[in-house]
Amino acid sequence: MPQGGPMKKKIVIALFFLIPFTIVILRLDYLHRQYNGKQNIVNDLTPIHQISAQHELILDSFSGKTPSEISRILSNEWPTIKQDLINWLVDTGKLASADEVTSITFFYGSGTANGEDGHGNIHSGYFQNELIAQLNLTEDAKPLLVAVKCANGLFELASSNLLTISSDQLRFAIGKRKCLVDYVSFETAISLAKQFNLSIYKDKGKQRHKISPEEALKTDTDNHLIQILVFPGDEFDLVNMTYN
């Protein structure tokens, strides 16, 4: 046996197991320096609401995805996210009632802000690759900005690199010459069509044919027309999930 063979193998194995740990340490050190040593106001603070492990996995899957891809993941895997978020905030006293919220816009990205923890204390720090919800309220009240993963409030958003994922009105009636996507995102419209068994059509004229919600989400809407059959006066409530 060549001299030093077993010892050399042990050293190589030890280095192999050290490499992932070293990468994690370097990554955390990079974030620490990038944000001037500030704490992560989503992961490091006591949450206002602890989401389920399943929902956390969904949020963690967004890294590297486009806004459209994220919106479709939410539509397929967490269709009740708007109702859940509103219910959490009502249960914890951050909202007086669900009726206060008129629309919700979701963003994804990173930034710096002041964040409120589960004890009501305010901390200055950063958030990295997080889903952020802006709840627009009635009576010209200031919108409520929260991190979905923990429901912690964000204040004084100092800097951010946020992409808009979707923007949905929560209660509306279809107006004349209007369609669902005039009030909600395309992905939400397809989700509503599935929820309330609304007919979905692809293309127009002789090529017009009925399709499933799943096919609609896979369709290239730059080259094909997608229509959901609704009528003026149809009323939608996305908080209570009703359609009349």
Contacts 24+ apart (CB under 8 A), 174-180: 174/230, 174/231, 174/232, 174/233, 174/234, 174/235, 174/236, 175/232, 176/232, 178/232, 179/227, 179/228, 179/230, 180/228, 180/230, 180/236
Contact in structure between 178 and 145 (CB atoms under 8 Å): no
Other CB atoms within 10 Å distance of the CB of residue 93? 9
Query: In angstroms, how far is CA 193 from the centroid of its own chain?
Result: 20
Q: What is the layout of strands, in order, in the sheet containing 209-211?
A: 209-211, 200-202, 226-228
Which residues fall within 8 angstroms of residue 31, CB to CB, at 6 or more apart? 40, 126, 128
Rounded Cα distance, 173 and 154, in Å: 31
Predicted confidence at residue 155, as pLDDT, reads: 84
Predicted pLDDT at 16: 37
48 neighbors 116 (Cβ within 8 angstroms): yes
Tens-level pLDDT at each residue, the chain (244 residues): 455 555 554 444 343 343 333 333 333 344 444 566 689 999 999 999 989 999 999 999 999 999 999 999 999 899 999 999 999 999 999 899 999 999 999 999 999 999 999 999 999 999 999 999 999 998 778 999 999 999 988 887 877 789 999 999 999 999 999 999 999 999 999 999 999 999 999 999 999 999 999 999 999 999 999 999 999 999 999 999 999 9
CA distance 189 to 183: 9
Query: Could you give the CA distance from residue 141 to residue 190 in angstroms, rounded to a whole number?
Result: 30
Q: How would you label 96-118 residue by residue, b for 16+ Cβ within 10 Å and e otherwise?
A: eebebbbbbbbbbbbbbbebbbe
Distance of CA 96 to the CA centre of its chain: 23
| pTM, 2 dp | 0.80
- Confirm if 127 and 147 have CB atoms less than 8 A apart: yes
Which residues are CB-contacts of 206 (< 8 A; sequence separation ≥ 6)?
none
